Amino acid sequence: FRQLVRRLALVAEWHAARLWAQRDRRLTRDGRYFTRLRLADGWRGMAILRSKHAAADSPASQLTFTPDWWRARLAHVLANRHAADGADCKDSHSARVWRTTLAHPETSLPIIVKQPRARSGWRRVVQWLPPSRSRRGWARGHALLHRDVRTARPLAYLERRVGPFVRESVLICEALP
């Protein structure tokens, strides 16, 4: 019986790892939960449409978004990324992070916008290579959520490229208290 229980636990771990990998691959495809976005000035990225499982402590997980809604809101965020549109949480040599809100028909959604910066010439060269810091944050944030680790929900990421090189990127996460 003990050997059977050990074997079942091993198979359950293997199955969970396969499910997590399958969910991680879903992050970069259009579907019922995520959408690809193309905006003006060469910005490309992904955004969340809805969450499969709503969480009580995450207002964004209880909302449904549309690609057109995202295009309108993200155009505003990108237009004001150099201005003091929201309250700066961090403005340093490595990143600019600010807090603002997105107007949703059901509620006003508080968000955190993260724009990575290069600390040095070497970092600038490294950040030109894909995947961008914002895209890695998007993937890691959702991977943690898929594994039931509580974290701020990544709502969207955008990056602007020149050929294969990432010129700049932005990550938008849900603001949690």
pLDDT single digits (tens) 39-84: 988 899 999 999 988 888 889 999 999 999 999 999 888 877 766 5
Q: For residue 2, how many other CB atoms are within 10 A of its CB?
A: 6
Q: Are 132 and 159 in contact (CB under 8 A)?
A: yes
Residues 47 and 155: beta-carbon distance below 8 Å? yes
Rg (CA), the chain: 18
| pLDDT at residue 87, as a whole number | 65
156-174 pLDDT, tens digit per residue, is 999 999 888 999 999 999 9
Phi/psi-derived region of residue 163, left when phi > 0, alpha when psi is between -120 and 50, beta in every other case: left
Q: What is the pLDDT of residue 127?
A: 85
Contact status, residue 95 vs residue 115, Cβ threshold 8 Å? yes
pLDDT of residue 86 exceeding 60, the answer is: no
0.75 exceeded by pTM: yes
Beta carbons of 147 and 20 less than 8 angstroms apart: yes
- Mean pLDDT in residue range 24-36: 84
- DSSP secondary-structure letter at 153? P
Type of residue at 35: T
pLDDT digits (tens, 9 = 90+) for 110-132: 999 999 988 888 888 888 888 99
pLDDT surpassing 60 at residue 85: no
Model confidence at 155, in pLDDT bands (50, 70, 90)? Answer: very high
Question: Rounded CA gap, 169 and 117, in Å?
Answer: 9
